[in-house]
């Protein structure tokens, strides 16, 4: 078995046992485990392709186990477009090493050199003569508890048969038929539960008219109270749902928040208490060159998951089992153990698919809700589902952001100095990060103390500063970040984190600078990009969109262009959007071109690019959390509109092939440049720049009439 020096992916150093990753099963399949979970990105299928490729197995011999704390590796959260880059790289190395161990063992049994052995569908052949000996014959003779070394080189891309193919997603058939989601799981003797939410941190329940709630329910329910945590439980789900729906009208709280409408706008962030940091070059004390300055913003955004958060919990024989659609089962287990003061080994957390996620939504909070009830009702499987009003009112939101850009130009009109100044609440309040708690913990006796908010560090891609550093060739740049510590609502991770606002602002500025210099926006960008892969995606998307035929604009029809490399380290994406603007924006066509290095499943990547474009369009044009008084007022689809199916244009997604390059994360790469391309397209159509999202009918009309 050949060996080599290699730096192991982080997931392998944290989970240093081969049997944590793979298991040869009696039915002649191989179970491959991952800590990453399926949230609509097709990751389970792609990871199975990697495993099957390295093990020389057909796909139907690979069984995936995703998000299981008892048997799978701890890979923290499925986030930041890292599943292929980290878990995929780990599985590739594990499977390559496993194959080498199996071949070496078979060589001993067959009394030949390992170099004489080939593998077909898990069976060994000596000098191409296929025998009866298989992986499953020799696997029991190998110590799979040993640590992976990473010392066995995976296959070269030239030998791939499964990686790089459009393999249908394994999770879709059941979802299309119905019954695949956590919401569909109904074990025998299940008890349904809903929660009366504490309106804000520190609010105290003064009274609840239980008689009125029971009367409205119309069937027997239990009202469970523990400090300020209140739940309605019963076998009749409609009765439980009705009880929760009317409970808020019959509850009185002391210390509920009082939010002013101005606090829902990004402009309110400026001047609020903040933790300040600066990254990059110091500012020139005697700057030269023309100064161009502009301010952009995005509002608070909801995850707007298609299905509200849901969890199952069962407490039997002092052991708690939780089923959740959250993004990380190992962190969930740790966080719930801490809240409930249970030993870590007394909890199992398992992932089940949910309909919609895109970041830190209410899934983990619903899991704690269910767990609290379950440990107080041993032997009953508790199914806890949030109401739509809970989902819109109490999940963590994507933070509002205010971004001011100050650019100094040289004599040729090109940027020589770039400052991005950002005001934003934290983008990460996941429990266990030192910056946040599970929601119900604040309603229990002895709630945890308030934490000082933190934001992801620059070395990890940043939070509010994500993609704020220009990828263009600019001599000097810096980021000034104001981490606002007192936002009116809880904020946390939402797809792309701060990249959505930062790319929207940066690419708008690039278009405006090009206009000032009398240059075409594409040519202006290409002159500032030395990275050939960045240049390639821009040139390709321009060719596909017919950019050379772009008119002067200002007549209601626009063609907008934008580029970003997600986190400046992941996949490259360039987007062109064709649109028209009358009283509102109508999207007509979207072209996306991406470079993700080695692509495992091209169809899966195209799906991600298309989905990212749709979500980016929805954020740019429609979405904003509204709040006043005691909390969020946009608690349904009428008050929180998203892009409708009828408003989605034709989307052409193209993936440039680079199988010789490492795989790059694609799950978030198309969102931000799509938003920016829409902003640039609207400016091209109107001859007026609208700098604050959403680019709604109201904002457009106000701009046209001003």
Kind and range of the H or E run holding 678: helix 671-686
Q: pLDDT digits over 424-437, tens only?
A: 999 999 998 888 99
Distance, in Å, from the CA atom of 589 to the CA atom of 417, rounded to the nearest integer, reads 35
18-57 tens-digit pLDDT: 999 999 999 999 999 999 999 989 999 999 999 999 999 9
pLDDT tens-digit readout, 321-379:
999 999 999 999 999 999 999 999 999 999 999 987 889 999 999 999 999 999 999 99
pLDDT at 133 over 60: yes
User: For 528, phi and psi rounded to 5 degrees?
Assistant: -110, 10
Cα–Cα distance for residue pair 532/529, rounded to 1 Å: 8
- What pLDDT is recorded for position 357? 80
Specify the pLDDT at position 610: 98
Q: Mean pLDDT, to the nearest integer, of 131-137?
A: 95
Contact predicate 85/665, CB 8 Å: yes
Q: How confident is the model at residue 140 (pLDDT cuts 50, 70, 90)?
A: very high
- Cα-based distances in Å from 247 to 120, 241, 389: 63, 10, 13
pLDDT in tens, 566-575: 999 999 999 9
Question: Cis ω on the peptide bond leading into residue 351 (within 30° of 0)?
Answer: no
Distance CA 106, CA 100 (A): 10
- pLDDT tier, 241 (very low <50, low <70, confident <90, very high otherwise): very high
User: What is the pLDDT, as a whole number, of residue 76?
Assistant: 94
Query: Is residue 188 within 8 Å of 379, Cβ to Cβ?
Result: no
| pLDDT tens-digit readout, 96-125 | 999 999 999 999 999 999 999 999 999 999
Fold of 10-165: Aldehyde Oxidoreductase; domain 4 (3.30.365)
> According to the model, what pLDDT value does residue 460 have?
85
Q: Which residue has the tokens 């199996």?
A: 102
Residue of higher predicted confidence among 698 and 706:
698
Residue 239 has pLDDT above 60, yes or no: yes
DSSP code at position 491:
B
Q: Is the pLDDT of residue 7 over 90?
A: no
For the chain, the average pLDDT equals 96
Is there a common fold for 10-165 and 401-705?
yes
Question: What percent of the chain lies above the pLDDT cut of 70?
Answer: 99
Fold of 401-705: Aldehyde Oxidoreductase; domain 4 (3.30.365)
pLDDT one-digit tens code per residue, 531-558: 999 999 999 999 999 999 999 999 999 9
- pLDDT computed for residue 80 by the predictor: 87
| Residue extents of the structural domains in the chain | 10-165, 182-256+309-385, 401-705
Let me know if domain 182-256+309-385 sits in CATH 3.30.365.10: yes
Mean pLDDT of 596-604: 97
pLDDT at res. 286:
85
- pLDDT 10s digits, 266-312: 999 999 999 999 999 888 888 899 999 999 999 999 999 999 999 99
pLDDT digits (tens, 9 = 90+) for 603-652: 999 999 999 999 999 999 999 999 999 999 999 999 999 999 999 999 99
Using only the alpha carbons of the chain, give its radius of gyration: 27
Output the pLDDT for position 3: 60
How many Å apart are CA 620 and CA 674, to the nearest integer? 9
Percent over 90 (pLDDT), the chain: 91
pLDDT number for residue 458 = 87
Residue 478 has pLDDT above 80, yes or no: yes
Q: Is the pLDDT of residue 459 over 90?
A: no
pLDDT at 95: 98
Strand boundaries in 54-177, DSSP class E? 62-66, 117-120, 123-126, 129-134
| Pairwise CA distance, residues 491 & 306, whole Å | 19
| Mean local confidence (pLDDT), 260-268 | 97
pTM: 0.97
Q: List, as one string, the DSSP characters of 270-309.
A: TTS-EEEEEEESPPPSS--SEEEEEEEEE--B----SS--
Q: Is the pLDDT of residue 706 over 80?
A: no
CA distances from 17 to 20, 71, 99, 143, 302 (A): 5, 11, 15, 10, 39
Residue 2 has pLDDT above 80, yes or no: no
């Amino acid at each position: 078995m050949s060996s080599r020096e290699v730096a192991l992916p982080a997931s392998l150093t944290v989970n240093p046992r081969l049997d944590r990753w793979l298991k040869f099963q009696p039915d002649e399949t191989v179970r491959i485990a991952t800590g990453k979970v399926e949230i609509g990105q097709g990751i389970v299928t792609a990871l199975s392709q990697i495993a099957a490729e390295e093990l020389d197995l057909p796909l139907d011999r690979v069984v995936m186990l995703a998000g299981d704390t008892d048997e799978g590796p701890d890979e923290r959260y499925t986030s930041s477009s890292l599943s292929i880059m980290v878990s995929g790289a780990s599985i590739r190395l594990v499977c390559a090493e496993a194959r080498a161990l199996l071949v070496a063992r078979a060589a001993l049994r067959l009394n030949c050199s390992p170099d004489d052995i080939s593998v077909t569908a898990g069976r060994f052949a000596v000098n191409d003569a296929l025998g009866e000996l298989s992986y499953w014959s020799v696997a029991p003779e190998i110590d799979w508890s040993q640590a992976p070394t990473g010392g066995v080189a995976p296959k070269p891309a030239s030998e791939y048969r499964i990686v790089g193919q459009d393999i249908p997603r394994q999770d879709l058939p059941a979802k299309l038929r119905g019954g695949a989601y956590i919401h569909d799981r109904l074990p025998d003797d299940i008890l349904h539960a809903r929660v009366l939410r504490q309106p804000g941190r520190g609010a105290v329940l003064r009274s609840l008219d239980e008689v009125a709630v029971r009367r409205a329910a119309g069937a027997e329910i239990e009202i469970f109270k523990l400090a300020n945590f209140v739940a309605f439980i019963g076998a009749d789900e409609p009765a439980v749902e009705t009880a929760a729906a009317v409970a808020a009208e019959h509850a009185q709280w002391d210390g509920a928040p009082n939010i002013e409408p101005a606090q829902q706008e990004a402009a309110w962030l400026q001047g609020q208490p903040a933790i300040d940091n600066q990254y990059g070059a110091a500012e020139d004390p005697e700057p030269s060159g023309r100064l161009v300055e502009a301010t952009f913003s995005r509002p608070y955004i909801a995850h707007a998951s298609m299905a509200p958060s849901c969890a199952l919990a069962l407490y039997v024989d002092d052991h708690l089992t939780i089923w959740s659609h959250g993004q990380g089962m190992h962190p969930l287990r740790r966080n719930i153990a801490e809240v409930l003061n249970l030993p870590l080994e007394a909890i199992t957390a398992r992932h089940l698919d949910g309909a919609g996620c895109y970041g830190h939504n209410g899934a983990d909070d619903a899991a704690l809700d269910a767990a609290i009830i379950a440990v107080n009702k041993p032997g009953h499987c508790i199914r806890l589902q949030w109401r739509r009003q809970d989902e819109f009112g109490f999940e963590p939101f994507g933070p509002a952001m205010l971004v001011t850009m100050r650019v100094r130009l040289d004599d040729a009109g090109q940027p020589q100095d770039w400052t991005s100044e950002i005001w934003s609440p934290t983008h990460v309040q996941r429990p266990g990060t030192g910056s946040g708690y599970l929601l119900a913990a604040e309603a229990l006796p002895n709630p945890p103390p308030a934490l000082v908010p933190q934001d992801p560090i620059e070395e990890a891609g940043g939070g509010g500063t994500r993609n704020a550093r220009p990828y263009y060739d600019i001599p000097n740049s810096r980021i000034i970040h104001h981490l606002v510590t007192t936002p009116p609502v809880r904020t946390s991770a939402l797809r792309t984190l701060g990249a959505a606002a930062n790319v929207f602002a940066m690419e708008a500025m690039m278009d405006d600078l090009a206009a000032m210099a009398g240059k075409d926006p594409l040519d202006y960008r290409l002159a500032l990009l030395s990275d050939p892969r960045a240049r390639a995606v821009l040139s390709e998307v321009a060719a596909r969109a017919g950019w050379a035929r772009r008119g002067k604009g200002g007549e209601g029809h626009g063609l907008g262009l934008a580029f970003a490399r997600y986190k400046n380290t992941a996949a490259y994406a360039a987007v062109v959007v064709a649109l028209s603007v009358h009283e509102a924006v109508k999207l007509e066509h979207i072209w996306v071109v991406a470079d993700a290095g080695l692509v495992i499943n091209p169809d899966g990547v195209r799906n991600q690019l298309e989905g990212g474009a749709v979500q980016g369009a929805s954020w740019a044009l429609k979405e904003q959390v509204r709040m006043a008084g005691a909390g969020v007022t946009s608690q349904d689809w009428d008050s929180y509109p998203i892009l409708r199916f009828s408003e989605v244009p034709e989307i052409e997604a193209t993936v440039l092939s680079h199988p010789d390059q490492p795989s790059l994360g694609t799950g978030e790469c198309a969102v931000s440049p799509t938003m920016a391309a829409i902003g640039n397209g609207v400016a091209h159509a109107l001859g007026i720049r609208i700098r604050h999202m959403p680019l709604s009918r109201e904002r457009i009309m106000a701009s046209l009439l001003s």
